[in-house]
Chains A and B, each alone.
Chain A
């Protein structure tokens, strides 16, 4: 069978995927990335690694789906995954926005309560 992906590129992409995996692992170890977010990145790396090793996998899948130009499949999946993840991040940001608002309000109310207590305490004796 003819080589679709040259060997050099294959080695490079495997190395790249492994490096990325190591980078993600390092971020988790240093506490800079929560495990729940790391799952998606590890999944991405696994995906990259999978196609780096299975060299003509992309062509085969493209053939199955009737996609004429195989690399466009990468763009399709890539864009789709990125957009999904961005929506997910917007949801996270919205949730944190609401939580922050509630915390700030709670804090302001407690501070006010404390001031009022102090005042009434001063007035008593």
Chain B
């Protein structure tokens, strides 16, 4: 049996509530996609029934023995994709914010722009759910900071909806950033001369559960990401690039 070229990664932390509808949507979307795909859920050591729900539905998943946070969980998926030889890896969140059908928009953008990395963006065309004003401001600051540091322009820099090809995967599997990984990963790809483009997608507000970034945490989040962006830029500029396959 020939393997599908595309792997869809869905990191889940306490998403038992949203899993039933999400799993249904994912299956429906896969039937419509322009390339064959496989799905891999990643259970980031959830404390609710996420694991039981995944098992009951017979969905393929990686089961992390400890909670690694979104960065470590996604990286586990990227390592799997690298080992198994997938050519493309899409990543959507487990909370239902990213409609799986929109993966097609990412595939189209990747083909059209010949870009190794496509980020699903709420801000290219102003449509769908675009988050609260304070969040948008935070994202804007991060986006400008990233551009100023590295010269890479991505508007929706915290978007967790991405599609990467195998060239980018060769970086992501060993070096995907920790904790709040999305903005730093943009710099990681960009400074390795991998073109990062944004594709307009419709997002929704999360269906169930709470954001991992609570108001109290958001100040910490901003500082961590601002610093993280600074240091990853410095690291790659100063100590050279990682080797890519």
Residues of A that sit less than 8 Å from B by CB: 100-101, 104-105, 107-109, 111-112
Judged by a CB distance under 8 angstroms, whether B216 is at the interface is no
Across chains A and B, the number of contacting residue pairs, with CB separation under 8 Å, is 37
Q: Which of A101, A105, A107, A109 has the most CB of B within 10 A?
A: A105
Known A101-B178, A105-B75: A111·B62 in contact at CB below 8 Å: yes
Partner of A101, one of B42, B63, B72, B83: B72
Majority DSSP secondary structure for residues of B touching A: mixed
Judged by a CB distance under 8 angstroms, whether B68 is at the interface is yes
For A105, list chain B residues within 8 Å (CB): 64, 68, 72, 75-76, 79
Inter-subunit contact A104/B66 (CB<8 Å): yes
Considering only residues 152-181 of chain B, those with a C-beta below 8 Å from chain A are 178
The answer for the CA separation of A100 and B75 in the assembled complex, in Å, is 13
Judged by a CB distance under 8 angstroms, whether B80 is at the interface is yes
Q: Name the distance in Å between B148's Cβ and chain A's nearest Cβ.
A: 27
Judged by a CB distance under 8 angstroms, whether B240 is at the interface is no
For B63, list chain A residues within 8 Å (CB): 108, 111-112
Given contacts A108-B42, A108-B65, A109-B76, 4 further A-B contacts (CB under 8 A): A101-B68, A104-B65, A105-B72, A107-B65
The answer for the CA separation of A73 and B75 in the assembled complex, in Å, is 49
For A111, list chain B residues within 8 Å (CB): 62-63
Inter-subunit contact A108/B178 (CB<8 Å): no
Q: Name the distance in Å between A84's Cβ and chain B's nearest Cβ.
A: 22
Q: Name the distance in Å between A109's Cβ and chain B's nearest Cβ.
A: 6
For A104, list chain B residues within 8 Å (CB): 64-66, 68, 72, 76
For A101, list chain B residues within 8 Å (CB): 68, 72, 75, 178
Name the residue on A nearest B45 (C-beta).
A104
Q: Name the distance in Å between B100's Cβ and chain A's nearest Cβ.
A: 21
The answer for the CA separation of A109 and B83 in the assembled complex, in Å, is 10
The answer for the CA separation of A112 and B40 in the assembled complex, in Å, is 10
For B64, list chain A residues within 8 Å (CB): 104-105, 107-108
Partner of A112, one of B62, B68, B72, B178: B62
10 smallest beta-carbon distances between A and B, as pairs: A105-B76, A108-B62, A101-B72, A108-B64, A104-B66, A112-B62, A107-B65, A108-B76, A104-B65, A104-B64
Inter-subunit contact B80/A109 (CB<8 Å): yes
The answer for the CA separation of A107 and B76 in the assembled complex, in Å, is 10
Q: Name the distance in Å between A110's Cβ and chain B's nearest Cβ.
A: 10
For B75, list chain A residues within 8 Å (CB): 101, 105
For B65, list chain A residues within 8 Å (CB): 104, 107-108
The answer for the CA separation of A11 and B78 in the assembled complex, in Å, is 63
